[in-house]
Structure 1
Amino acid sequence: MGTEFTGSWLATSRGGMWSIESPQESQVYLEDIAAGLSRTCRYAGQISEEVTFYSVAEHSVIMTSHAHRSGLIRTRSEALCYLLHDGSEAFFGDMPTPMKALIPQFRVYEDLAQSVIFSAFGLGPDMVARIKPDLKRIDTRVRIDEREVMICEPALSAGREALWRQDPSLKPLGITPALLEPNLARQVYLEAFAWALDALPDDLGAPRAVRDAGRYLAERGVAPKLPDFTPSHAKEASCMPEFSPC
């Protein structure tokens, strides 16, 4: 394992080192990302007492699953953009958005880490920019579904109203999070990654991080699967009056 880093660094699940100030593509490994995202709780862990855990890994798979069902994911690069869109949180955790606004330097390091992770998997800035508008909208919409399950009042209504002030047309995705514990969330994340590498047309070639990910998944016999988080009895999101703004 490499020990290349400059200045402050963080230990990774593999025993490697992640440079906070000067991350390199050689420091990017799927197993570290899966470990960090599956053990990081969304909403800074401030979820209702009835909900034990909700990981960034599960959130990423939910978004990928919805985008694929919606026809927005057709190639390997598009799937990896969704699965890795919060990749930096594997190392830095899920800092709440209001905190990021108060600590601008944190966002600098987070954006740098995210850029390096994307690049390591062959996802260039033009490719990411093309996918970003749809990805951001799904990321915003899924918060309505997530918060309904795990945020209590009055914060639930306040957060919903804040989203609608930004965009009154927002609708939930109509999904139900499985609320997987970390080990299961990690498995589901790895299975979704294996699905992206196995089932979709390869428009990336073989960047080092992709080659290593494929080898890692094959060695562990990870089956390629992409779950569907939409309940069979669920109404279409556009027909859910309880989510309509007043």
Structure 2
Amino acid sequence: MYATPSMPTPYVPTFTGLRLNCFDPQTEQIHLIDIARGLSRTPRFAGQCKADYSVGQHALLVEQIAFRSLPAPRPEFLMGALLRCAHQAYMGGMVGPVKAAVDQLAPGALGQVIAKLSCAIERRFRLHLDMAEVVLINVAEREALRCERDDLGVDPDGCWPELHRTLRPMGIKRIEPLPADEVFQRFVNRAMAIMGDAL
């Protein structure tokens, strides 16, 4: 996984037996099962909340909110929402303050890795979103964060003032953290329901 004299390019070995090159990710190195496996076992908020809550369950929540934002959403839009944080399946979750610290030490480096991974994932699943859809996914992400703050006991001191202007979306039930295996299966099932044979 790490660069060494014998392995100059960093690879991430995956659950399905693939190897993902973080510096030059290719579509054939990306598999839905690996994304579902990684996200279902990656803790949201670095695990610093009152229950075991994964990035995978967060992704399902973002897609659920995005689904309600349009009367007839395109499958590509819903898949884009579901895969909003898919790069974390390979990189792990990194909280905002740590991202900022890393960026100070190596300006732009982390962003480049995330961008390359995200672009490869978009190519793999043939996601072509317009700007309006990207904006709606970002809104869904923020609304999901509002739900998580309310239901999971994160941000007790109000470090996210922007959430004061974000309303909880209608019809979203209180979050009940799910076991990793259930999140994994729900993620795979939802992706298949959205894209079908296109996967």
Distance in 2 between the 1:31 and 1:64 partners? 18
Selected match of 1:32 from 16, 34, 54: 34
Counterpart of 1:170, as a letter, is T
Distance in 2 between the 1:22 and 1:187 partners? 29
1:6: Cα distance to partner?
A: 7.1
Give the number of aligned pairs. Answer: 186
Structure 2: runs of 5+ lacking an equivalent: 1-6, 104-108
1:82: Cα distance to partner?
A: 0.7
Q: TM-score, normalised by structure 1?
A: 0.70
The residue aligned with 1:163 is 162
Deviations 1:115-169 (A, max 9, x none): 1101111113xx25442111111111211210222225xx423234x224xxx53
Kindly report which structure 2 residues correspond to 1:13-52, keeping only aligned pairs within 5 A, or say none: 13-48=15-50, 51=51
Counterpart of 2:121, as a letter, is I
Contact 1:40 1:56 in 2 (8 A): yes
SS at match of 1:33: helix
Distance in 1 between the 2:71 and 2:92 partners? 27
Deviations 1:14-34 (A, max 9, x none): 111111111111101101000
Kindly report which structure 2 residues correspond to 1:93-112, keeping only aligned pairs within 5 A, or say none: 93-104=92-103, 105-112=109-116
Distance in 1 between the 2:167 and 2:26 partners? 38
Runs of at least 4 residues of structure 1 off by over 6 A?
A: none
Contact 1:81 1:128 in 2 (8 A): no
Counterpart of 2:125, as a letter, is F
Distance in 2 between the 1:57 and 1:146 partners? 13
Deviations 1:86-111 (A, max 9, x none): 11000011111121122232222112
Identity in percent: 23
Distance in 1 between the 2:71 and 2:150 partners? 25
Distance in 1 between the 2:81 and 2:72 partners? 9
Distance in 1 between the 2:131 and 2:69 partners? 19
Deviations 1:53-93 (A, max 9, x none): 11111111111112212326622111110111111000011
Distance in 2 between the 1:36 and 1:73 partners? 30
The residue aligned with 2:68 is 69
Contact 1:67 1:73 in 2 (8 A): no
Distance in 2 between the 1:39 and 1:193 partners? 17
Distance in 2 between the 1:128 and 1:114 partners? 16
RMSD: 2.1
Selected match of 2:121 from 94, 107, 117: 117
Q: TM-score, normalised by structure 2?
A: 0.85
* Alignment CA distance shift 1:178-1:121 (3 Å): same
Counterpart of 2:175, as a letter, is P
Contact 1:38 1:57 in 2 (8 A): yes
The residue aligned with 2:148 is 146
